[in-house]
Amino acid sequence: MSLELLPKECIVEVLSFTSPREACQLSLISTMFRDAAESEVLWEKFLPSDYRDVLSRLLFPLEFISKKDLFLRLCHPLLIDGGNKTFWIDKLNNKKCYMLSARELSITWSNNKLYWCWKSFLPSRFAQVVELIMVTWLDIQGKINTRMLSPKTTYGAYLVIKLANRAYGLHSFPIEVSIEAGDYKSCGTTFLRHNMACSICELQTANEALASGFATSKERVLNEREDGWLEVELGEFYTDAIEKDVKMCLREVNGQHIKGGLIVEGIELRPKFVV
């Protein structure tokens, strides 16, 4: 039986089990497939089930001419919840992504101008970021409920930062990073430094910290992003059928040394690709 003889609804149903990219590629097969790939019903299936709720939370109204157009527009980060979060769809795997701005995080002493400074920062998508002036106790925490994320997905949580030219004390001692989701917990350490190469002194400090029990062997590397910011992975977790809060943390409270120059944009949550 030729596929051309199948009703359009059947082809739409078949395409709904593919990805948006695959559906667009299959639209080249024939006129019937092209019509099915442009179907409102198909792109409704590709959209998150709660997309109407997301649209109601947008900082700026979004205009679109079709469900496909809406999907493509949602593939770019959009401000929601008063501009304190961004939402977008990962167009490669059709999963939901979020970034929680610094205003959405719990940062110890962030409202004390002696320790932290809230300011506008042109490279940021948010109205404000926060810069560390000087503290010994560094504690940054974020939280999100798994109902906001795509189900049955492994997510990574990433603290998105910049290091000011005056940054200091952020690589003198291992900084603890962690994720908690229900009974699951992931822990590691990182050093926040401009130069990714460790000096001999830093390696000695790290070894001493490991020997004292302050750190684990899972060191997270600071990576440069395409948008010019830096990110460090706080951990990963899986969104199963049980709804739960995910707690994300970066903390250094053991060294008791002064730290400064850390600029925090927020925490990004996005699907991890399993190879």
Measure the CA–CA gap between 153 and 239, rounded to whole angstroms: 5
Q: How far is CA 214 from CA 161, 207, 208, in A?
A: 23, 10, 9
Consecutive 10-residue averages of pLDDT for the chain (275 residues):
67 82 79 81 92 97 95 98 98 94 98 97 96 97 98 97 95 94 94 60 45 53 95 96 96 91 98 73
Name the pTM for this structure.
Answer: 0.88
Q: Which of 181, 124, 126, 178 is nearest to 148 (CA)?
A: 181
Structural domain spans, the chain: 7-76, 96-271
Q: Do domains 7-76 and 96-271 have the same CATH topology?
A: no
CATH 2.60.120.260 for domain 96-271: yes
Instruction: Note the CATH number of domain 7-76.
Output: 1.20.1280
